[in-house]
Amino acid sequence: ADLLAWKIICDFATSSTMTLPEAEAALQAHLGSWFEDPDWRLALKSIMDVEGVVEDALEAMDQLSEVASSCSGIKICIKPAKTALLQKPKQVVLLEAEMEGSVHTLKSYNHIFGTPLMVDKILDAVEERGVGDLESLADGNIEGIADTVWQEMAIVNGEIIKIEDNDNNVDDDSVESFSCTDLISLCQQLKAGCMQYGDPTSSFNLLWLLSKYCAGLHQEELLNATQTLLDSYLVPHL
């Protein structure tokens, strides 16, 4: 039985303000299309017969609830949830049908031993979940997929050595460095090129920036230069 419906009946039995039409309206609002007056008429009549005596009404309700819970003829109806069924794509349906036909054919030839796998497990094998997505798979490029598979097989067999990309681990100190003298010489070459080629306005702007940059290089070179002694000019080098 519906516990909330019985609670409405108990409220009607213990309430001094709720009327019979209000109790019936509450049951109809709760049960909706499942409400049938004969199912609740006996309970409502028992409360009306002992009107004013709450103890007698509750005792009658207890007896009715015991009978209702022990009666095998009472059917509990549960409304099915309205859920939208997800339809499988047409390609998946066709693939499943072909797979089932292949399984039946192999089984008829006694080429399958034991219990065959479900179609879902065949199409979504656990071993294939760790393979990852192939870049060419989204484009439908079968040749790209085949090349990738052959390459992976060659790596496993030791035919190809897989070289990891370690460009990110290259030490910045290993990059060739330029001295101030080299940079000044390079700027002089760029200045000469600016005077011959390019847009005049852009060439002038670049020429101004190069001159400013060269001035900074000269200043840095002078600050870091080592003072030359007169002895180095007077004493011949052996």
Same domain, 11 and 59: yes
Mean pLDDT, the chain, as a whole number? Answer: 69
Report if residue 23 sits inside a domain: yes
pLDDT-based confidence at 131, cuts 50/70/90? low
More confident residue, 184 or 62: 184
Report if residue 136 sits inside a domain: no
pLDDT of residue 83: 47
Report if residue 156 sits inside a domain: no
Mean pLDDT of 151-155: 79
Mean pLDDT of 172-184: 71
Same domain, 52 and 101: no
Same domain, 56 and 101: no
Domain containing residue 26: 3-70
Number of domains forming the structure of the chain = 3
Return the minimum-mean-pLDDT range out of 22-26, 147-151, 226-230: 226-230
Same domain, 221 and 186: yes
Same domain, 65 and 98: no
Report if residue 169 sits inside a domain: no
- 86-120 pLDDT tens trace: 677 777 778 778 878 887 787 777 766 777 767 66
Full 3-state SS string of 192-211: HHHHHCCCHHHHHHHHHHHH
Same domain, 64 and 9: yes
Beta carbons of 80 and 34 less than 8 angstroms apart: no
Q: Is 212 helix (H, G, I), strand (E, B) or coil?
A: helix
Same domain, 19 and 60: yes
Whether pLDDT at 18 is above 60? yes
Same domain, 17 and 59: yes
pLDDT of residue 135: 52
Same domain, 61 and 7: yes
pLDDT of residue 155: 78
- Tokens matching residue 159: 């035919």
Report if residue 232 sits inside a domain: no
- 44-57 pLDDT tens trace: 777 777 665 666 66
More confident residue, 170 or 146: 146
Report if residue 206 sits inside a domain: yes
Report if residue 220 sits inside a domain: yes
pTM of the model: 0.25
Same domain, 62 and 106: no
Report if residue 79 sits inside a domain: no
More confident residue, 160 or 196: 196
Cα(191)–Cα(210) distance, integer angstroms: 7
Same domain, 18 and 51: yes
Mean pLDDT of 155-178: 62
Length of the chain: 238
Per mean pLDDT, which of 1-15, 47-61, 112-126, 153-167 is the most reliable? 1-15
Helix spans in 71-169 (H): 90-108, 119-123, 142-157
pLDDT-based confidence at 73, cuts 50/70/90? very low
DSSP state string for 24-86: HHHHHHHHGGG--HHHHHHHHHHHHHTTT-HHHHHHHHHHHHHHHHH-TT-----PPP--PPP
Whether pLDDT at 233 is above 60? no
